[in-house]
Amino acid sequence: MTDQKNLGLVDSTLRSRTSREPLVGTTLIERTLAGRVFTMAGGETMQTAPYVNSERGGMVLTGPTALQTAGHLRARHEELTFLIEPTSVFALATAERPLIIDEPADALFAPTVEEVLQAQRDAGASVAVIPAGFVDVADSEALKAILAAANKIDRDDAILPLAVHQKWSTPELISQLIAVATRSRHPVALALGAKAGDPLNLKGGPESYRRFFGEVKGAVPWRADLAGIDAIVYGARAAAIGQIPSLRRLSVPGNKSFSSRPSDRAPHVLMPELMRFARSSEMHMKWFASATPWPCLCAHCGGRAVDSFTGSDEDRFLAHLHNLAVFDEIVATATSMSTAQAAQWWSQRLAEAEAEHVRLAQHTGVMIPLPPTLARWRSLG
């Protein structure tokens, strides 16, 4: 396996002494987000928190009990930067109901938007996340209604999630999405929803996604995978990357989540050489069935074979820590450079990933194609 240093994980020759301009800010929300990679977590929030880099990392708490978890998290980790994802992203927004608030069963009155945001802050969240609903395909009226409602919120500590159907990232719709996002008084967090698979697997998707973060100042990729890194390179203020596959994308409301092998609990491991995730069981059964598996030299693996993670709770958690460490290294490099230098570095990393896929095929005798989105980034340079 190629030495990680040679792959440019911390390539000092490309580092700039001055951070990119978009990473500085004057408002609370700008300073809080600047240059951070947030780990989106659910049930393993408390276990993961001690390993999050407090200087350039953070967490996004997800799920119906996130607000309750937040209080425990803040009590144990005073220095940790974290946000709470509202469950509204799983409910369809309409022009009449753009912001969606869960009404407590024992409440006499539904809370106001202001009360919802303040409840997040009171629970310990570093900034608040506006409870906007999911925007379906080409529902311009719902999208505009979300913007109008959010712009009425007079706070400097709120971020607006734009959870939209993946088709908003196509050339036909991306200009309108950008036009709306640039009029937001709050930083926006873009999450793409799909029925299955990578939400960028549409014609023009990777290009449009990159364009969005280049044109919408201070935007953040939300529920992202490696697309979050591409976004940071091309202008995003921060990124929120899922700890597990279901948190690295958003399901379209009403659509059940899909897994090709629901009984297989083996974790997805981030391979920095290949710039992709791969399920450890698939690597074991297919990639390295007749070849020596690659070792991982990250701080948590200590030379462990990349295909050796099982579906046990312990192994799954260790794989999460591996992924966290790799992302931390990558983001540390990307955010230390000027925008031009970062683009050059990222293009180099993608070229190396393509070459590593060829080398892996030679080592294993198994042809492993580039993921479509990675291949498209590679062609864009």
Domains of the chain listed by start with CATH number: 20-251 (3.20.20), 268-380 (no CATH)
pLDDT of residue 222: 98
Per-residue pLDDT at 340 exceeds 60: yes
pLDDT of residue 153: 98
pLDDT tens string 51-65: 999 999 999 999 999
- As a whole-number percent, the residues of the chain with pLDDT over 90 amount to 82
* Residue 80 β-bridge partners: none
According to DSSP H, which parts of 37-139 are helical?
45-48, 66-76, 113-122
Q: pLDDT band for 254, please (50, 70, 90 cuts).
A: confident
Per-residue pLDDT at 10 exceeds 90: no
More confident residue, 337 or 84: 84
Specify whether the CB–CB gap between 113 and 153 falls below 8 A: yes
Dihedral angle of Cα 269, 270, 274, 276, to the nearest 10 degrees: 90
Per-residue pLDDT at 21 exceeds 90: no
pLDDT tens string 100-121: 997 765 666 789 999 999 999 9
pLDDT of residue 110: 80
Per-residue pLDDT at 93 exceeds 80: yes
Specify whether the CB–CB gap between 366 and 284 falls below 8 A: no
Q: pLDDT band for 3, please (50, 70, 90 cuts).
A: very low
More confident residue, 12 or 153: 153
Q: Is 303 left (phi over 0), alpha (psi -120 to 50) or beta?
A: left
pLDDT of residue 104: 64
Per-residue pLDDT at 4 exceeds 90: no
Per-residue pLDDT at 6 exceeds 60: no
When the pLDDT of each residue in the chain is averaged and rounded to a whole number, the result is 91
Radius of gyration of the CA atoms of the chain, in A: 20
pLDDT of residue 262: 73
**pTM for this predicted structure:** 0.91
Per-residue pLDDT at 13 exceeds 50: no
pLDDT of residue 106: 61
Q: pLDDT band for 351, please (50, 70, 90 cuts).
A: very high
Per-residue pLDDT at 213 exceeds 90: yes
- As a whole-number percent, the residues of the chain with pLDDT over 70 amount to 90
Residues 7-34: what's their mean pLDDT?
Answer: 58
List of E strands, the chain = 37-41, 57-61, 82-84, 128-129, 134-135, 158-165, 188-194, 220-221, 239-242, 250-251, 268-271, 276-279
pLDDT tens string 352-378: 999 999 999 999 999 999 999 999 999
Mean pLDDT lowest for which of 24-28, 113-117, 168-172, 253-257?
24-28
In the structure encoding, which two tokens stand for residue 82, read together? 């974290």
More confident residue, 7 or 201: 201
Per-residue pLDDT at 12 exceeds 80: no
pLDDT of residue 102: 78
Residues 29-46: what's their mean pLDDT?
Answer: 93
CA distances to 271, 319, 345, 347, 348 from 14, in Å: 22, 29, 7, 12, 11
